[in-house]
Amino acid sequence: MEGRVEPEQYRMILESLRNGIYVVDPERRILFWNDGAENITGYLRQEVIGRFCQDNLLMHCDENDQVLCGNGCPLLETIHDGKPREAVVFLRHKEGHRIPVRVRAVVVRNAEGTVVGASESFEECHAASGCGLHSAALKVENHADAGTGVSDRASTESYLRAFLADFAEQGGAFSVLNIRVDELEQFRSAHGPQAVQRILHAVATTLRRNLRDNDVVGHWAEERFLAILADCPPENAPRVARLLQEMVRGSAISWWGDRLSVTISIGSTTVRPGDSADSLVARAADALSGCTGNGDIKII
């Protein structure tokens, strides 16, 4: 019949979508995995088809790092009651970093209306709302740090000065997080310098993917990162810091058959009238030095 779309053409359309799409049977065995799913997760279809999503392949978790691949799985709940669901969760990329995604689960029925599986579509999103670069950031020529992929120190310093100038002119509050990877030297002694580079890249990518477009994160020193949170008053900074901590805690790299992870400690401060870049960074560093243990947060 002219104009009819054949089943294989539907499949080709699904394969080519930018959104991730996968289909499971009632036991949640993965039957279909499209190009978008490959691009977002880093896993090729031949690595996942035939495996069960409850095998913790992607390690879906909520913002408190509670794994959802068991009883909290939206896909499982949809299979059980037939109701569509939508949620923001965090998956672990093949390279180890955490990515926030919006997922939508629906059941798949046969011609008789019997549930024969479910489908989940997902797209990358930001853990916090934000639209486009901050006006201060538009004034800076960014250069990426070769090892971590986030802004290098010189660019981060330029961003900080631009945010301060914007604060002096318009008064928009922003916060700074001084982030330390805990016990990096012990990690290096145990696993070597190449593992250190891999874990730093995973941490950096997790930080960047879980901040808004109008925030900035840069590599400040080997074990340090600096994040600039646009339009962030002091009461909001702890929530962001806790989210970043949980997402880094849930990140892990594959290394010679092991899964390696680290924690971060964070010192936070918010801009004040009369601040310079040096005073702001020093205050955040003082807050970090006040952290009493690994995975701590201190606000000044």
Residue 112, C-beta contacts closer than 8 angstroms, at least 6 positions apart: none
Residue with tokens 């807050």: 287
Fold of 137-299: Alpha-Beta Plaits (3.30.70)
- pLDDT tens digits, residue range 56-111? 788 999 988 888 877 778 999 999 999 999 999 999 999 999 999 999 999 999 99
- Pairwise CA distance, residues 48 & 188, whole Å: 32
Q: Model pTM? A: 0.88
User: Do 101 and 88 touch, CB atoms closer than 8 A?
Assistant: yes
For 295, counting Cβ atoms within 10 Å of its Cβ (0-12 exposed, 13-18 middle, 19+ buried), the class is middle
First vs last C-alpha separation in the chain: 71
Q: What pLDDT shows up at residue 7?
A: 75
CA dist 184 and 165 (Å) reads 34
HSE, side-chain direction, 13 A CA sphere, residue 25: 7
pLDDT at 138: 76
Please give the class, per CATH, of domain 7-124. Answer: alpha beta
Q: Where are the domains of the chain?
A: 7-124, 137-299
Cα distance between residue 50 and residue 60, in whole Å: 18
Q: Would you call 228 helix, strand, or coil by DSSP?
A: strand
Block residue for tokens 């799985």: 73
Q: Which amino acid is it at 199?
A: I
Give the chain's radius of gyration (CA, Å). Answer: 22
| pLDDT tens, per residue, the chain with 300 residues | 456 667 788 888 898 899 999 999 999 999 999 999 999 999 999 999 999 988 878 899 998 888 887 777 899 999 999 999 999 999 999 999 999 999 999 999 999 999 999 999 999 987 554 444 567 677 789 999 999 999 999 999 999 999 999 999 998 899 999 999 999 999 999 999 999 999 999 999 999 999 998 999 999 999 999 999 999 999 999 999 999 999 999 999 999 999 999 999 999 999 999 999 999 999 999 999 999 888 899 998
Q: How far apart are CA 146 and CA 150, in angstroms?
A: 8
